[in-house]
Amino acid sequence: MKVPCDLRDLQGVLRHDFYFGYATAATQVEGGWDADGKGASIWDTFAHTPGKVKDGSTPNDAVLSYYKVKEDAALLKSYGVTAYRFSLSWSRIIPLGGKGDPVNEAGLRYYEELVDELLKNGITPFVTLFHWDTPQALEDRYGGLLNKEAYTPDFVNYARVCFERLGDRVKHWITYNEPGVYTLAGYAAGVHAPARSSNRKLNEEGDSSTEPFIVGHTELVSHAYAVKLYREEFQAKQKGTIGITLHGNYSEPWDINDPLDVEAAERAREFEIAWYGDPVYKTGDYPASMRTQLGDRLPRFTPEESKLVLGSSDFYGMNSYTTFYVRHLNTPPHIDDHSGNIEKLDTNSEGVSRGPESDTYWLRTAPWGFRKLLNWIWKRYGVPIYITENGTTAKGETEPSEAVLNDTFRIDFFEGYLEAIGRAVEEDRIDIRSYFAWTFTDNWEWAAGYTDRFGVTYVDFESQEKKRYPKRSATVLKELFQHMIKQK
């Protein structure tokens, strides 16, 4: 492969122990939704409810990763990865979820087999404990994450089971994946499980003005207690790292010469990212801009919780895809606003687009904003950054034809974002330690079902075996990282 001009001078800029690989989530890839004693998650319930998923599909089979451990590990190895990020299904390990409920040996054995197969292929596992799939039994029992007191000991117990069984081989743990997306999509918009919001046309129950912040608080506190457990009982012996992965796209002022838009963009970043980032990495509390707008609807940390949450992540786990232009609003914030009273736009005041369109309405290629966001996170928090998700869909991926498998749109996306990372390391001196592309194979993309294809591997969803076809982007990423990672 001929290295693109923009990346030629970035040879060897990434540290020799930089991790490159792909990220996935249990619900989206495993299938075997009720196999070998697995319990139901809130996503099983959601998908089995008519009208909730765009194409009416379910993750019952997903892409059958549960049955393809060896095959998928071999494919990952052929893609040249050094790491693979996946999540554990809580209800596969503890079907009813609670600390007093039985552990499912078959579920644990599956994850042990997966970890062992990855290690055998020279691939380092990065393991996420919670990627949105709360056990349905806990939702039924006490309202899931709306009940911090009941939920936290159950989550910590689940974490303990995972550390005990897998921690001798797993050295990279992530407690929560994108806690903010879980709360906003599930409890504010109500378009994800557990499908709660103030919109009675869509959801029977919920309060978009309070529940997202209650759930976010539970996530932060239970995360901190799980980290406390790992650090006190496991870290010294197992010698691993543990942290959290936060979502966040970059917000750029719509008019860079308007102080109100500059303020609005910063406020948008705080509502989206610092909501979780500040308590964990900066102050042990929520940003002042959130408290000003939300008042007592934003929960308050006890002194003990604040102390526990601050410093509770060994790294900054970063999921980011795109950039938006942000304009201030002159009207008072709506009771159900979760963004800092701003408007998001696709073009700025001068008519400049944020980037080329993908096949997903919100996602546009914008590496220029990605580098700005890396700088914003580094300047605000100053901890090593692990990029744990980044990727794109592409229009017209409807069959594994030569044109579709030569996925130039995705290749352009990756080249742009990898250049941004290289420059951020080389010129901005930011400590970046991993890049996990989203995602390994096309999969079941939550409420979009099988309509959004993010994979570097095309999957024939109609075939019984969910046949895989590598796209060219998989080869390009492999070669770009061979160029950019310093040789030992």
Q: Which residues does the annotation mark as catalytic?
A: 178, 389
Name the DSSP letter for residue 161: H
Token output for 92: 């596969």
Taking the C-alpha atoms of residue 108 and residue 408, their distance in angstroms, rounded to an integer, is 39
Closest CA to 454 of 394, 403, 407, 399: 394
Taking the C-alpha atoms of residue 244 and residue 273, their distance in angstroms, rounded to an integer, is 12
Taking the C-alpha atoms of residue 403 and residue 383, their distance in angstroms, rounded to an integer, is 41
Taking the C-alpha atoms of residue 289 and residue 283, their distance in angstroms, rounded to an integer, is 14
Closest CA to 373 of 477, 473, 268, 454: 268
Token output for 282: 């900066």
Taking the C-alpha atoms of residue 263 and residue 266, their distance in angstroms, rounded to an integer, is 5
The counts of H helices and E strands in the chain are: 18, 13
Cβ distance 32 to 66 under 8 Å? yes
Beta strands in 371-453 (DSSP E): 385-389, 432-437
If 0-12 CB within 10 Å is exposed, 13-18 middle and 19+ buried, where does residue 120 land? exposed
Taking the C-alpha atoms of residue 470 and residue 467, their distance in angstroms, rounded to an integer, is 10
Taking the C-alpha atoms of residue 72 and residue 31, their distance in angstroms, rounded to an integer, is 14
Question: What are the CB-based long-range contacts (under 8 Å, 24+) for 142-145?
Answer: 144/42, 144/194, 145/214, 145/215, 145/218, 145/219, 145/222
